[in-house]
Copies of this chain bind each other. A is one copy, B any other.
Amino acid sequence: MKITTKVLFLDDDGQRFFGDGPYQLLLGLEKTGSLRQAAAEMGMAYSKALRLVKQAEKGLGYALTARHIGGTAGGGSRLTPQGKEFLQRYGAYKAACEQADAQLYLEYFSGQR
């Protein structure tokens, strides 16, 4: 048995705008240079991927991604500097939460299943 932690960011209306799904998607975008390809690798519809990115950008109040056109690869997307910084920070925060919650698990469930 294992535990896993998901940390969700909610706007003031209680709507989710960031979490593990968008995080994985944006990591994929950084790796592939394409939101469409990043979505496909997660088995996610491109329309959903676009919506997740827009929701995240609206919630945070700044652009996480930028499109570029042309070039040999026919254009694509990349993270903005702010987007890169946010992803790094979120990744570190998520890891810290996972560690803290795993430690608490031992405290609350020691000797239990």
Which residues of A are at the interface with B, using a C-beta cutoff of 8 A?
A: 1-12, 14, 59-61, 89, 92-93, 96-97, 100-101, 104-105, 107-109, 112-113
A18 to B104, CA, bound (A): 17
Q: Are B100 and A112 in contact, CB atoms less than 8 angstroms apart?
A: no
Q: Are B93 and A112 in contact, CB atoms less than 8 angstroms apart?
A: no
**CB contact under 8 A between A4 and B8, given known A101-B100, A104-B93:** yes
In the complex, the count of this chain's copies comes to 2
A8 to B1, CA, bound (A): 11
A1-B12, A96-B107, A97-B101 given. 5 additional CB < 8 A pairs? A1-B9, A1-B10, A7-B101, A92-B108, A101-B101
Q: Cβ of A92: which chain B residues have Cβ within 8 Å of it?
A: 108
Q: Cβ of A107: which chain B residues have Cβ within 8 Å of it?
A: 96
